[in-house]
Structures are given as structure tokens and as C-alpha cells.
Amino acid sequence: MESLDEEDYEYEYNITFNESYEYYHTLCYKDDVRNFGKIFLPIFYSLALIIGISGNSLVLAVYIYYKRLKTKTDIYILNLAIADLLLLFTLPFWAADAVHGWELGETMCKITSALYIMNFSCGMFFLACISLDRYQAMFRNQDRPRKQEYIFVLIVVWMAAIILSLPQLIFSTVKEKETRRVCISVYPATMARNTKAAIQFLEVIFSFVIPFLIMVFCYTRVAKTLMWSPNVKKWRAFRVLLAVVGVFFLTQIPYNIVKFIRAVDVIYSFIIMCEASKNLDIAILITESAALFHSCLNPIVYAFVGASVKNHLLKLLKMISSHKRTHREQTVEISLNSHSNTENTISFTI
């Protein structure tokens, strides 16, 4: 979770210049940033939780019960849905933290922070894996994935995500404030700035820049091939993947730009005005929430763009509807039969 550090959350020291070019330290109180988060985050997280869990659960059900895992892309999409669900399950904790402060202790603070970063990063990695697999499928025929291949990729992806989450597991702690407790990352005093900046740079590079470059390369090549291909069916097979990448760009670019600016500011402290600092904090909250929303948009993209997953989703919904209709008919039949028995029979309905 991209959290405001101890000084940022309540206030921070800003260097202010006067007309004589002398400078002095002033306190920048950020109560309005915290009050904005109290309103914005619980509303947004509740919406994301409802939409994201519903959509990803349907995709997960389709892949488990109906759609066979024929390609590595299917395996990656299944793992992407799992990572999205695990990420969404952390949101109630952060919503409660925004309103009431952190009341679950240091252990849960560390675990929740680490799970957030791990699954956020994991989702980015699997989108890159999907683009690589589609690129390979375009230029060479692929049969069923060999078990050793996709197991190796899955292990590498999940281990890389776990490694990126280790700083949160190590440095996250609960700090006592005047009126509340907060779950934040606190780094060693001797290297706080360098450590914080390095971690943020690494997250930007591995969770955005590398997946971004892989997707650009793969889908640029795929697009060039599709332009010269008369096979319409082949284009339909790639629409869902292109849509997923489009969602990735729209949701991730603003957040990572703001995150990069903040990491640079940690080192060089070029944001010296209080209002600018507060605007950057609010920008982090908004853009991170938009980046998080990709977990909700992926299932929607699968349902409306991907014909294969859409057909299986329709089958699943029809089965649920049929089951409910059958249950209602059985209920009515039991109720009618109970009233037609002898007088000594106690009538009942289910």
C-alpha cells in the first residue's frame, strides 16, 4: 500500500524562501489530506470490492468448472484473477484504516501491506506474461503448454512479487499518533531517504516499466502482423488481450508518473511549497485508486470482448438461473402437496 510516511500523514517540514532569499523551516499541516482520504477511500474501496470480487469470482468459476486450460494464456488469466481477488481482499482493512486508524496490530499491518504490494505486482507480471505468450503464439504454433514450462513461469512470477513485497513486510509498523494509530513504513533513520526512494524506484521499474516495455514490444509486433492478415478470426482472438493492455496503460501510467515524482522528491526535496506537497499527496491517493481499479476492469474486458470467456460466463449464469427456477418449482410443488394431504398432516412450505 502506498502510504504517507510519518511526517507526510500529519504534517511535514517545508523550506520556505522569503524576499531576501533566506529560508526557514515551517510546518505543513495535512489534516485536509487525511479528511479527503476518510471520505474518498472507503467509498472507492467499497465500490471496487463489490465490482472486483463479483467479476473475478465469475472468471475464476468459469476457468475452474467450464473452460479447459488449453494455453498458457488461460493459465495466466486464471492466476491474474487469483491475484486480483487477493488484492481486493485487503481493501476493507485500508478503508477502516483511513477512517478509524489501524486497530489490528503490527502483525496484521505487515501482512496486509505485503499482500497488497505482492498481488498488485503479480497482476502486472501476469499481464506481461500474457502479452509474451500471445506474441509467441502469433509467430509459432503452440500446442498444449508443457507442465514444466508454465509451472516454472508461475514460480518465477509469484517469487518476484513476494520479493518486491519484502520491504513492506520488514518495515511496516504501527505508529501511535495523537488521536489514532497508523500502519506505515518506517525506515532506519540513518538511511531513511535513500531506502524509501530506492524501494519506490524498484516498484516503478519492476511493476510498471518492465511490463510496459514487454507489452509495447509484443503488441506492436502483433499489430503489424494483424494489419496484413486477412484472418478475421485471428483478430478476434486478440481483442481481449489488446483491451486488457489498453486498460493497463490508462490506469497505471498516471499513478507511476506521480509515484516517480514523489520518489525523486524524497531525494532532492524540490517540492518546497505546502500546497504543492498536499496536492501531490492527494494525487497519489487518486491515481493509486485508479491503478487499483484495473483489478475490477479485467473481468469486464473478458466478458464483453473475449468471446470464449463470454460464452462460458453465459452458460454459468444460465445454470444458476435454471437452478433457482427449479428450486422455486420444487418449493411450490412441496407446498401444494402438503395442503392436499389428510387433515392430520401438518402443512409446511420451504
pLDDT tens-place string over residues 72-84: 878 888 898 899 9
Q: How many angstroms separate the CA atoms of 117 and 137, rounded?
A: 30
Q: Inform me whether the pLDDT recorded for 160 exceeds 90.
A: yes
Average pLDDT of span 9-25 = 40
Q: Render pLDDT for 87-141 as a digit per residue (tens, 0 to 9).
A: 999 999 999 888 888 988 899 999 999 999 999 999 889 888 888 888 887 776 6
User: Is 0.85 surpassed by the pTM of this model?
Assistant: no
Q: Is the pLDDT of residue 7 over 50?
A: no
Phi, psi of 349 (to 5 degrees): -130, 155
Q: Which of 86, 22, 78, 27 is nearest to 277 (CA)?
A: 27
CB 256 within 8 A of CB 204: yes
Q: Mean pLDDT, to the nearest integer, of 254-262?
A: 91
Q: CA-to-CA distance for 113 and 130, rounded, in angstroms?
A: 26
pLDDT at 345: 35
Domains for the chain: give ranges and CATH numbers: 6-337 (1.20.1070.10)
Q: Which pLDDT band, with edges at 50, 70 and 90, does 184 fall under?
A: confident
Distance of CA 302 to the CA centre of its chain: 16
pLDDT in tens, 220-257: 887 777 777 666 556 665 676 677 677 878 888 999 99
